[in-house]
Every structure is written in C-alpha cells, then in structure tokens.
Amino acid sequence: FFSALACAKAAIQRCDRFIMEQLQNAIAESKSHPSTRTTRPIVTGASVLAIKYKDGVMVMSDTLASYGSMARYKSVQRICKVNETTLIGASGEYSDFQYLKDLVEELTDEEFDEDDGASMSPKEIHSYLSRVMYNRRSKIDPLYNFVCVAGFKEGKSYLGALDYFGSTFEEDVFTSGYGMYIALPLIRKDWSADMDEKSAVALLEKCMTVLFYRDCRTINKYNIAKVTASGVEISKPYSLKTEWSYKRFQNPHIIE
C-alpha cells in the first residue's frame, strides 16, 4: 500500500514539474517574439452608410484611412465586390478588412473552380463572415471592423450587418462609425422603402456631407456602390459640393 502511495506521489510530482516547465517555456517564447495580433486599431476607416431602395441596395463610404489622427491614406476603397449579387463595406481597422476580403476572394475562387453555376447568396456570405468574426472574438483576437453585407438575389434586396463580436442583424438601413450618431437620424427621417435610385443617392450624399462637416476622420472623397438585378456597380471616387459660408461656421459663438 505504502509503495503504491509513494509511486502515486512521484507521478503527481513529475506531472507538476512537466506543467511548470511547459508554462515557463511558453512565457519565455512569448517574451522572445513580438505580438502577432491586432491589439488595437491603427489604420482605420470612418463611416459606411447603406440603404435599401426600390431597385436594390446602395452603399457609400469615403476613401480615407486614418493613421491615428492623421489623414494618411486618402484613396482607399472600403467597398468591395464579392460576386455578381453581393458586395461588402467596412469601417474600422483597414488591415482586418483586407483579411476579410482575402477570405471572401478564396470563397469565390472555390466557386469558380467548381464550375457548377452556383454562387453564394448575400445571406450565406453574411452568415459565413459572422462565424469568422465570432471565431476570432472567441480567441481574444477580434477583427476590428463593423461590416455591412449588401446584396440582391432572386428579386429580393438584402442588407446585413456584423461587428467584431460576431453579432449580426438584418435591417433596411445601415450606418457605422460616427454615422451611427449623426447620419442614422437623417436617414430614418427621409428614407422610404419605395424610394428611387436618384432619391437614394441624394439621401446618402446629404448624410455624407453632414459627416464631412462634423467628423474629423473623413474627407470629401467618396465611393458609392449599388447592387441590383443588373449586378454590382462601384463608382470611381468623387467629391461633393460643400458650403462654408454659414454664420455659425465662421463664428461659432455668434448669438442670433
């Protein structure tokens, strides 16, 4: 009995030593290598706006990627085409968005290789990206993005959103960044499900103009995209007309 007890104690001690050695090795390795995950956003994009309208879904964003508070990269496209029925747009860390773009490009390449005529629907892409975001969040290594998935398939518009927690929802309108505070009330006031393309463009441009006045992390250079029954179209960058002669702009302390 006593010899068996001694053997058990010796086994436990060897196990404890092994665990301590593994822990010390892990600590030493972590100190010898730099962190390889994003610990906080560095190069970031600001607001993305999206709305459903009569013929499909429209998405708009500026082309700025800020390095901290510096307007560093001024010709960055934060809207990308996934396939003929879907596009995605994102605010937040731009390198994380590039990673997401690489993932969806791999999906479309696999579909092309299959050559069976099938393609992922907007809802399927939305679901796939939500699992990616939740998986990274569960590893305490999130992708710091707020993403919209816009699509049009089989006569139906689709607009979904997901954040870096992996939370998802579907909605008729989408805003991210500072747009959640400034643009969303404006969209809710003027949006209607049966608005035509011209009205949808005017509404998004109005919101982006207000954001340009109020958000110090944006510039007057934009991409606007739409997904309809005809497919996905993304415009070249363009600027909006602005007005700076308002009395309150010239003298914020004026009393009328």
Q: Give 3-37 pLDDT, tens digit per residue.
A: 777 777 788 888 888 888 888 887 777 676 666 66
Instruction: Name the burial class of residue 180, with classes exposed (0-12), middle (13-18) and buried (19+) by CB atoms within 10 angstroms of its CB.
Output: middle
Q: What percent of the chain has pLDDT over 90?
A: 64
pLDDT above 90 for 191 = yes
Task: Check if 228 is active-site.
Answer: no
| CA-CA-CA-CA torsion sign (85, 121, 81, 170) | positive
Q: What is the mean pLDDT of residues 147-165?
A: 94
Q: What is the mean pLDDT of residues 58-83?
A: 93
- Which residue is catalytic, options 38, 108, 209, 228? 38
Would you state the pLDDT for residue 199?
A: 95
* Residues 118-154: b if buried by 16+ CB within 10 A, e if exposed: ebbbbbebbeebbebbbebbeeeebbbbbbbbbbbbe
Would you state the pLDDT for residue 30?
A: 67
What residues have CB less than 8 Å from 205, skipping those under 6 apart? 60, 222, 224, 240
Q: What is the DSSP secondary structure assignment for residue 163, as one 8-state letter?
A: -
Would you state the pLDDT for residue 36?
A: 64
Provide the mean pLDDT of the chain: 89
Would you state the pLDDT for residue 251?
A: 82
State the Cα–Cα distance between residues 28 and 176, nearest whole angstrom: 41
